[in-house]
Amino acid sequence: MQSVIQKIEASYKKSQVVDVRSGDNVKVHQKIREGNKERVQIFQGIVIRTDNKNSHTSRITVRRIASGVGVEKSFLLHSPLVLKIEVTKRSKVRRNYLSYMRKLTGKSARLSGVDFDREAVNTVRDEKAEEEERMLQEKLAAEASAKHAEEEASKAAEDAKAEAAIAAREKTE
């Protein structure tokens, strides 16, 4: 029974996600659907909490100050609506839940930075998504070539029709 549940959970997990820790400054690219339109919204802030690190329900809570008001958002790391998470700064913290950051403002809310390899942390390769993107590009290329061939055929037919009209006109003259 447990293996069936694990298989279902694994099917919903992304193959790789960025290693996000408490104290990181991140940019979360989230897909927002408004009516029939879609757009990508970027939420930038500090990670104050990480939950269920190795589970398909792993979640981060990101906090930022917007117009003088603290705003917190929770993101499921394996959600298809979360397109990309980019770590911009890594800070030294000794807790997992930085609830004390809610009381701090201004310079007192700064955390001391730690050197880290930004490129190595932010590079995530999702083979499944890359394969889907490649297939989509191939499909678009095939459609474009078919459309181009159709346009060439219609242009050739128009040219033949024009030549026939010119020949018929020359015959009557």
The string of pLDDT tens digits covering residues 88-145 is: 999 998 988 988 888 888 888 888 888 888 788 878 776 766 777 788 888 888 988 9
Is the pLDDT at 81 greater than 90, yes or no?
no
The topology (CATH level 3) of 2-125 is SH3 type barrels. (2.30.30)
Per-residue pLDDT, 126: 67
Per-residue pLDDT, 170: 84
Residue 59 sits at φ, ψ, to 5 deg, of -140, 145
The string of pLDDT tens digits covering residues 49-80 is: 998 887 778 899 999 988 988 899 999 988 88
Q: What is the mean pLDDT of residues 24-52?
A: 90
Decide if 81 contacts 31 (C-beta within 8 A): yes
Question: pTM, whole model, 2 decimals?
Answer: 0.65
How does residue 1 score in pLDDT terms, banded at 50, 70 and 90? Answer: low
Per-residue pLDDT, 80: 84
| H or E stretch at 8 | helix 2-12
Is the pLDDT at 173 greater than 80, yes or no?
no
Is the pLDDT at 43 greater than 90, yes or no?
yes
Q: Which of 83 and 15 is assigned the larger pLDDT? A: 83
Q: How many CB atoms lie within 10 A of CB 24?
A: 27
Residue 27 to residue 100: CA distance in whole angstroms: 21
Q: What residues does each domain of the chain span? A: 2-125, 126-173
How does residue 27 score in pLDDT terms, banded at 50, 70 and 90? Answer: very high
Per-residue pLDDT, 150: 92
Q: How many contiguous H segments (helices) and E segments (strands) does the chain have? A: 3, 6
